[in-house]
Chains A and B, each alone.
Chain A
Amino acid sequence: MSQVRLLVGTKKGAFILTSDGKRKKWDVSGPHFAGWEMYHVTGSPADPSRLYASQTSGWFGQVMQRSNDGGKTWEPVGNEFKYDGTPGTHKWYDGTQHPWEFKRVWHLEPSLTDPDTVYAGAEDAALFRSADGGKTWQELPALRNAKGHLWQPGAGGMGLHTIILDPTRPGRIVIAISAAGVFRTDDGGQSWQPANRGLKSRYELPDPDAEVGHCVHRIAMHPSRPDTLYMQKHWDVMRSEDSAQSWTEVSGNLPTDFGFPIQVHAHEPETIYVVPIKSDSEHFPLDGQLRVYRSRSGGNEWQALTKGLPQKDCYVNVLREAMSADRLDPCGIYFGTTGGQVYGSANNGDTWEAIVHDLPAVLSVEAQTLESSSSSSSKTSLKPRKKSEKSKKTSGKKKNRRSKK
């Protein structure tokens, strides 16, 4: 029988939640690395027993951990993230130029085919790669040539938080940085282009259509359709049909289109999930009601999912890295909150249950689907099981939009 393993990073350690395919009863192990901020814990699609974790501390800096047995044991690996050459400067909060300084790893993205190859997204924004299982890390420095001097940190720092590896074109990588925007390479990182056409940041940037500087929160892709990307921007939910070359807004009837995570269903490439948050000033759900919104049309038309989620007095946030999907059928959707709950749905989001209530603030959630007979596993399957290719994108009526738009 299949198993699901959730890798949960929190502000005070990592937790591993496991269940059988029914996803009713969960075993909880942890805290691993107790007391450390675990920005991201994730597994290799090529070998689900190979896990990587970013362990950080304001006191002790960055530590990287690797497991070869699905999280039972861990070993520290290389933690030296050295920018290539002289990295120069980027824009600082006051508009002056500021030297690039490594602070931490926000996101890890293992190769789709090689367990020993893994990418790391860092703050100050940079993309690193290890080809030896995390022992050594090398920067892909050409990214900074894409107008790096104009990148500016948001309040949470200038972190590279999204790394999308195209399963059909090995050289294509799409990354996103807060608050610099989206960038794409087609040659494995030798050259990069800003990929922000169509993003509008009316209240964040003096030029709403700036080539760089947009506060992108998260991008998601279904591996069967690598050209279709979904984005939760600071404000606005966006969609691209051309692998980030251009973007159109699909916020539709969302009650607020501010938020952090965005997730694609494992078998329905047009089914996506967001967690709307009241505003950039108030990072909690609208009216104290925790609601996941699902679109089955690739955006624009959204349905509130509330069953099993608190519908009053709820003032948690769901961070960008804290939502994931397994690839069982029906698809399981999971998210963690800053209040320490991890919610799961074993039926595409129709109903929810709290798997755990009282963890430290959740920073990241990754679902691994483990087959009993083999070790193959990945976050999402390459081929959709249910065809929704004919899902029609409709314009949707914008109701209850934030007043400022």
Chain B
Amino acid sequence: MIRVVLPYHLRKLARVEGPVAIEVEGPVTIRAALDALEARYPVLKGTIRDHGTHRRRPFIRFFACHEDLSLEPGDTPLPQQIASGEEPFLIVGAMAGG
């Protein structure tokens, strides 16, 4: 079971509050975590990564244990603390600036 923290607008869209707990089967990679998240909350499909290509949307960032994994390949394993649920996997809307 991993914990995923969604940005405000996606929490509203998925109608959840706080971190969501997701069961990930097999190795806990970025892709596996996102696949499991979208399977649990289909309304999030297309909002974090593109429907067809599964590419990360440009203004979405993935943070794990104080590291920015946004540019890492999808099969990159998430840190053990994320896989164990000790630390949350953060999906973040990039700062708009201003």
- Chain A: how many interface residues by the 8 Å CB criterion? 13
Checking A35, A36, A59, A61 against B46 with a beta-carbon cut-off of 8 angstroms, the contacting residue is A61
Complex CA–CA separation, A140 to B7 (angstroms): 34
Q: Which residue of B lies closest to A101 (CB)?
A: B50
Q: Which residues of A52-103 are within 8 A (CB) of B?
A: 57-63, 76, 79-80, 82
- Is the pair B7, A63 in contact by a Cβ cutoff of 8 Å? no
Contacts of A61 in B (CB 8 A): 46-47, 50, 57
Q: How far apart are the CA atoms of A35 and B45 in the complex, in Å?
A: 19
**Proximity string of chain B (63-88) to chain A, C-beta cutoff 8 Å, 1 when within and 0 when not:** 00000000000000000000000000
For B8, what are the chain A residues with a Cβ–Cβ distance below 8 Å?
Answer: 35
Interface size of B in residues (CB-CB distance below 8 Å): 18
Contact partner of B93 (CB less than 8 A), chosen from A59, A63, A80, is: A59
Interface residues of chain A: helix, strand, loop or mixed (majority)? loop
What is the count of residue pairs linking A and B with beta-carbon distances less than 8 angstroms?
A: 41
CA distance A63 to B46 in the complex (A): 8
Report whether B51 and A60 are in contact in the complex, using a CB–CB cutoff of 8 Å: no
Which A residues form the contact surface with B (CB < 8 A)? 35-36, 57-63, 76, 79-80, 82
User: Which residues of B does A touch, CB under 8 Å?
Assistant: 7-10, 13, 43, 45-48, 50-52, 57, 59-60, 93-94
Expressed in whole angstroms, the Cα–Cα distance for A248 and B47 within the complex equals: 44
A60 touches B57 (CB 8 A): yes
Check B45 against A82 for contact (C-beta < 8 Å): no
What A residues does B57 contact at CB under 8 A? Answer: 59-61
A62–B45 Cα distance when bound, in Å, is 10
Whether B47 pairs with A60 at a CB distance below 8 angstroms is yes
Known A-B contacts A35-B9, A57-B9, A80-B51; the reply to A62 vs B94 at CB < 8 A is no
How far apart are the CA atoms of A35 and B93 in the complex, in Å?
A: 13
A60 near B45 with CB under 8 A, answer: no
Interface core residue of A59, A62, A79, A82 (most chain B CB under 10 Å): A59
User: Which residue of chain A is the closest to B93 with respect to CB atoms?
Assistant: A59
A189 to B5, CA, bound (A): 44
